[in-house]
Amino acid sequence: MNNKYPKGKSYPKSQGNTETRTETTLKKPVQKTTQTRKNTVESPKFPQFFSAESSRLTDFSTPIYNMGVTTFDSRLKYDEFTFPRRLDNCKMVLTEKGNVPVLHSVPCDEYGIASHDWVTFGFCQSTLGQEYYSLDPMTADSELTYGIETFLDHHLHEIFGFGLGEKRANGMHNYKFAYELQDKMGMVLYGHSSRRISIQINGTGCALARKGWEVRLYQYLTSYQKFYDSQTGFLKETGPREPKITRVDLAYDDFDGQYITVDQADEWDDVGGFWCGGRQPKIEKIGPWKRPNGKGRTFAVGDRTSGKYCRFYERGKKEGSPLSPWVRAEVEFKSKDRYIPLDILLSPSQYFLGAYPCFEWLAKQLEKDFCTPEKTKVVKKQSEISWDKAIDVLKVQFGKYIRQFAKVVEPQELINMISSDKDEVPKRLKFSHAAVMQSIRLNQHFETKPTSLEEMPLFVGKPLVNMSAYKEFVHAI
């Protein structure tokens, strides 16, 4: 197409006009001034408890659109932030979901830094017997229930010290059938299209299970073997088929709030203590952060639906003690996008430290001081707080009535008169009740005076314990 006015020559602006104009090449508009944003970068190695006081912000000039700009993250000049950073994507394993990363662990001396607070594991229903594999899990309720009651219940007692409780009316999590474990310490789920049985041990079950349950569970899950039966001439199998851990919660308790607090966790996030490469994790603050009122605050890292989730919360205040400094840090692992090794049962501390850089940094500084209390101390602490809070609630709400009634009614008659007609355990005392019943199952005797704090000293020294509903169980075994 011929241009009427070729570029580079002068032409009159209009007819009868002696002024001229010159056609020139169209120039591209000059790029607008770039906006500035701040990105966090790593400060010198190991600042004291990783405080956010030091300046760690720098400016990067980037265009308003996300194209063609390469910036250098100064965090990467420190060993803790160099890729691949020994994270989950360093080691891969092939599973039925494809290649998935293995949980990152940090070698450490076993000081007992972390403990288990939840374990969910499963295996094929053929573990109950080879004849169970061909059963339709959606319809074979009676057959599977028989196998679980006769085979699995025995192993649960051997490993944890408690077994099956009541059967639920319905299942959950796409499992058609379910059993509660004794004293609500967990659940057994079965009747899934995958022909798998899932066993959940919740926080109460992990705390009150027989000592050494982690080792016994690991030995059971790794006990699969094939052998030739000379009597029948067939190849037989023993042990769980296709064992897998699908969820593990690891926890660290700081009774005095000396090393871990929710405010400290907030500062760690400011200095990249939870950054594991890629995008920064989601942060959520729950509770009365602006005006603390004694009900407890929570600092959450990540998404609850993802494969890794962390939370710091004021456990003592949550249990009912408004002045308690007790803080707990929990890391929740799920196998939805990563592989959870079975040896997490034996070495929980290594995987707890490997979850986030801040835990590894803190362990290097504190060494042997960074250890979680024994489970018995945690159980005792929680039970004492619940007991004291229950007494406080009763005294505040009904103390005046009881005092006046006691002036005209005999104590035992008054107790019978104001007691509930239903023999049910209040929600606040369910953990203590479960601890008592578990101690009875483990042949632990309760006395009004303490003799040993090695096992389950929950109601030791508590007045009127022999006059309660547990009277018939004291020294029962």
**pLDDT tens for each residue of 71-118:** 555 555 555 554 344 454 467 776 777 777 787 777 776 667 889 999
The stretch 263-271 carries a mean pLDDT of 92
Judge residue 36's burial from the number of C-beta atoms within 10 Å of its C-beta, 0-12 exposed, 13-18 middle, 19 or more buried: exposed
Lookup: tokens for 24: 């020139």
Give the pLDDT score at 67: 54
pLDDT-based confidence at 384, cuts 50/70/90?
confident
Backbone angles phi, psi at 285, to 5 degrees: -110, 125
The stretch 161-186 carries a mean pLDDT of 91
pLDDT above 70 (res 385): yes
Strand, helix or coil for residue 138: coil
Give the pLDDT score at 395: 87
Q: Which of 59, 438, 450, 400 lies closest to 211, judged by CA?
A: 438
73 or 180, which is more confident?
A: 180
Q: Which of 262, 361, 331 lies closest to 88, judged by CA?
A: 331
d(CA 136, CA 141): 9
pLDDT above 50 (res 379): yes
Preceding peptide of 325 cis, ω within 30°: no
pLDDT-based confidence at 49, cuts 50/70/90?
very low
Contact 413, 368 (CB under 8 A): no
* Residue found by looking up tokens 């405080």 in the block: 51
Give the pLDDT score at 59: 44
Give the pLDDT score at 64: 54
- Lowest-confidence pick of 83-87, 393-397, 427-431: 83-87
Give the pLDDT score at 466: 36
Lookup: tokens for 409: 């009614």
Give the pLDDT score at 83: 37
The stretch 321-349 carries a mean pLDDT of 92
Give the pLDDT score at 309: 95
pLDDT in tens, 217-253: 999 999 998 887 777 777 788 889 999 999 999 999 9
pLDDT above 50 (res 468): no
Contact 208, 185 (CB under 8 A): yes
pLDDT above 90 (res 467): no
Helices (H) and strands (E) in the chain, counts: 11, 18
Pairing of strands 298-301, 283-286: antiparallel
Q: What mean pLDDT value characterizes the chain? A: 76
pLDDT in tens, 52-78: 444 344 444 455 555 555 555 555 555
Give the pLDDT score at 45: 40
pLDDT-based confidence at 201, cuts 50/70/90?
very high
The stretch 253-267 carries a mean pLDDT of 91
Give the pLDDT score at 239: 87
pLDDT above 80 (res 216): yes
Buried-state track 417-445, b at ≥16 Cβ within 10 A, e below 16: eeeeeeeeeeeeeebbbbbbbbbbbbebe
pLDDT-based confidence at 177, cuts 50/70/90?
very high
Give the pLDDT score at 14: 54
Give the pLDDT score at 80: 52
Give the pLDDT score at 53: 45
Contact 191, 132 (CB under 8 A): no
Four-point Cα dihedral 466, 468, 471, 474, nearest 10: -60
Contact 168, 180 (CB under 8 A): yes
- Lowest-confidence pick of 51-60, 125-134, 359-368: 51-60
d(CA 83, CA 27): 43
The stretch 320-344 carries a mean pLDDT of 91
The stretch 200-223 carries a mean pLDDT of 92
- Lowest-confidence pick of 2-11, 32-41, 84-93, 117-126: 32-41
pLDDT above 70 (res 271): yes
